Structure 1
Amino acid sequence: MKILLGSLLAIVTLAWGVDVLATGGTSRGALPWVIRQEALYLSGLLSIALMSLAMFLSTRPAWLETPLGGMDRVYRTHKWSGILAVSFAVVHWLVEEVVGDILKAMVGREGRIPKEQFTGFLEVMRDLAKDIGEWAFYLVLAMLVITLWKRFPYKTWRVVHQAMPVLYLMLALHAAMLAPTDYWTQPVGILTALLGVGGIYGALCSLLGHIGRVRRASGTVTAIDPASPDVLTVSCQIDNKWSGHRPGQFAFITFDEKEGAHPFTIATSDRGDRRMSFQIKALGDYTRTLGKRLEVG
């Protein structure tokens, strides 16, 4: 996880540095304003890059399980890329709203880097993207607070979290429309575009309900056994769409559409009869009461 996130941050920062050198560094304005402008760009780039990674990882790419050490670590990387993305978004907002006002008071507007001029439809879209990005930032920040607040009900959090693909698309539009035009002829623009494609793919897969669809199967509960006070064994008969498994693997199981899918450990080997058992530990309100909700059949 740390290697992937660190490498992404390093690559994006390197691409940003190449653009700084290519565009002349401090020749565009006074040094304080140049530093502020480049800090604005870098924080925005790092935020959208990490958010794109988080959206792509939400598709549960099976080919990343081996290099990252399992799907649990894929999820952990998804979580921390989201947290870091919002953190850099906060820095981005502070540089835009606070640092700009401080510089105006301290050094004045002289030497400030002039804004790129656009007309017609492009100007309208840039204004729209700026407003959309600001509102999406506030909503994403609120979502982070809810995520880190462990006492917040999971069911409510799950509903709120489903809005993330829409917020990502809003922020992707913000990033694409407000990025300097010279970016698109530099490595930083190519990198941003590639990451954006991955993020948009993840967002659309989530919105259209495609995540995990090709490996989805249905089943019927055949036995319920409270193996211990805090572990429930649930046995199921799976339909012929199941492609097989190994004991110790896990599957995302949906017993209740309102609750959504949870990862549970597979406790039986594949004997060719598509019978499976899951060991479910009581870790929360849902798993503690699952034995009372389920019925054979």
Structure 2
Amino acid sequence: MSKAAKWSIFGLLLGVIIFLLSPSFKNLLSNTGFWNVKEQSLYLSGSIAIVFMVMSMLISVRFSFINNLAGGLDKAYIVHKWVGIWAFVFSIIHWFTDNWFIDICKELFILPPKVKGPSTISEFAKEVYSIGNDMVEYAFYVILIVLVIALIKRVPYHIFRYIHKTIPVIFLFIAYHAFTIQIKGAWFGSIGSYILSVVIFLGVIAAVMDLLQLIGFKHKVYAEVELCEHNENTKTIDLVLKPAEKFEYKAGQYVFLRFSHSKEPHPFSIASYNRDENKLRFVIKELGDFTSSLSSLVNNGDIVTVEGPYGNFIFEDNKANQIWVAGGIGITPFIARLEYLASSGKKVDNVDFFYSARGENQFPELEKLSEKSGVRFHYRNTTKDGRLNFNIIKEKIKDIKNTSLWYCGPASFGTALKNSAVSSGMSKKDIHYDSFDMR
């Protein structure tokens, strides 16, 4: 079962538990009439929706322990996407039940019962939660727009990111509604209310951290640009940074870089490892407007904000053998690992390294580093030799049950490798990959 599925099940169960421990559940058991079922289903769908929203907010602020639970920050983004989708699904159910559903029932002459006797809720209390009802109505439509934009891949990332920044503000309105609506259902004082209130409080903290730009503040350092050079042959940029203080990381990890000409941080794998030099090297592929213009906008001496390190792609497992597979610019974490092995004097004899790219090998240092480290290096020129596939890789695997696969490169290639490896008997937990899909 995937991490996203496990987190989704957890969010669903927590939302249901909150409802079961609330007065609404007791109310439902004592009155199973049509309109009461409809009323209490609002609290159920709302509880589940707010739990998923809070989970999404907590993941977005990049807490280390949450990243580890998700299997690394790159996997956390996948979980973030799915809990966000589930939050929206249950928000739709909640909204439909409270709006169109009532209108449809009235059209069918199924009218709600008239309230008998005076209300036990004061006018002031009614005003408090009524304000929340009004706010959340508008918030729902804004979230609808944001989610649609997030799912349309053709919308440029920078536009998506700017629009996505409205989410913390919207969440605060929703949090107010989720907290104050408990007045109407007489939830306060119940165990369900205590749990829900804590959940909402955690979400508010995450939203405020986002708004105050405190995400990753404990993991940020400044670094000076020592080199920013364009390589015409490989269509890459060689970037070298000198952090102002000692920067600790493991080979295979990545960081977010924020340059002076751009307010938005971008993730890049570290392509170097040297215990003696406090320097970070990046090999950046020119794939879009941002990376293509980097060499012309960044100069030696510029100050860059470095946030990290992140990622669990660190080549640590309990298997006797490892297969490394890199596609295109996915080579960068492997360069760092090879440099780590070479600089530490470690020589291995249990690693086969496959690198697949178009044309001749544009990173000649790979062969030298591999030889020095004991890694068996296999380069495949896809223009001349065709695409690399798992059948070719499998020839080097002696014991697939005791072998792990480490992959970084195009997502489609990675999916094909994973499926073939699993079909050949490799466990899913022994397949490691980095994912940089931020939406």
Query: Do they superpose with TM above 0.5?
Result: yes
Partners of 1:145 and 1:86 in 2: how far apart? 11
Partners of 1:267 and 1:100 in 2: how far apart? 59
Q: Across the two proteins, how many residue pairs are aligned to each other?
A: 295
Higher relative contact order (CA 8 A, sep 6+): 1
TM-aligned CA deviation for residue 264 of structure 1: 0.9
User: Could you say what secondary structure the match of 1:23 adopts?
Assistant: helix
Which structure 1 segments of 5+ residues have no match? Answer: none
**More deviation, 278-287/3-12:** 278-287
Choose which of 1, 8, 12 in structure 2 pairs with 1:9: 12
- Is the 8 Å Cα contact of residues 35 and 112 (structure 2) preserved in structure 1? no
- Is the 8 Å Cα contact of residues 234 and 279 (structure 1) preserved in structure 2? yes
TM-aligned CA deviation for residue 71 of structure 1: 0.7
TM-aligned CA deviation for residue 103 of structure 1: 2.3
> Does residue 1:118 correspond to 2:121, yes or no?
yes
Give 1:65-214 correspondences, 5 Å limit: 65-106=67-108, 108-111=110-113, 118-179=121-182, 180-214=184-218
User: Could you say what secondary structure the match of 2:269 adopts?
Assistant: strand
Letter paired with 1:40? L
Partners of 1:290 and 1:16 in 2: how far apart? 51
**More deviation, 110-119/140-149:** 110-119
Deviations 1:37-73 (A, max 9, x none): 2222121111111111111111101122333211101
Partners of 1:35 and 1:233 in 2: how far apart? 63
Q: 1 or 2, which has the higher strand percentage?
A: 2
2:244 corresponds in structure 1 to 239
Deviations 1:94-131 (A, max 9, x none): 11111112223335325478896533432222221111
User: Could you say what secondary structure the match of 1:184 adopts?
Assistant: coil
Identity of aligned residues (%): 26
Give 1:245-260 correspondences, 5 Å limit: 245-256=249-260, 258-260=262-264
Deviations 1:132-168 (A, max 9, x none): 1111111111111111122223222222221211100
TM-aligned CA deviation for residue 18 of structure 1: 4.1
Partners of 2:209 and 2:286 in 1: how far apart? 31
Partners of 2:114 and 2:207 in 1: how far apart? 37
**More deviation, 223-232/163-172:** 223-232
Q: 1 or 2, which has the higher helix percentage?
A: 1
Output the aligned Cα RMSD: 2.4
Which structure 2 segments of 5+ residues have no match? Answer: 302-439
Distance 1:112 1:295, change over 3 A: farther
Distance 1:78 1:103, change over 3 A: same
**TM-score (normalizing by structure 1):** 0.89
Partners of 1:139 and 1:197 in 2: how far apart? 22
Larger of the two Rg values belongs to structure: 2
